[in-house]
Amino acid sequence: MFDPFGDFATEGYLRNFDKEKDLEIVKIAEHELFRAQLPVALAFLAKRKRIEYADFLEVHCILFEGLYPWAGKDRAEILPDSAVKKGVVFERC
């Protein structure tokens, strides 16, 4: 189980708003949110002359703010003392 926050038992998978622990339910919610919000995210990006890191974060927020309270925040802000691992090790800056 991918649990970068270390609080799955109390906060659910990736600290989702409903504290849902069933990964299949969370995956369905992620997929449905993504599909519903994709046009909004694409419209946001279409207005950008150049896509910057802040825009990437905003797109993540647009897509997933309905499920995760940390959507759109930089990983260093949410997990400053942890390298996130999920099959690969992400480089820490």
Residue 12 · residue 20 · CB < 8 Å: yes
**Residue 79 C-beta-side C-alpha neighbours within 13 Å:** 17
pLDDT of residue 70: 97
Which pTM value belongs to this model? 0.83
pLDDT of residue 80: 87
Largest CA distance in the chain: 43
pLDDT of residue 81: 81
Phi, psi of 54, rounded to the nearest 5 degrees = -60, -35
pLDDT of residue 82: 74
Low-confidence ranges of the chain (pLDDT < 50): 90, 93
SS3 content of the chain, % helix, strand, coil (to 5): 50, 0, 45
Phi, psi of 56, rounded to the nearest 5 degrees = -60, -45
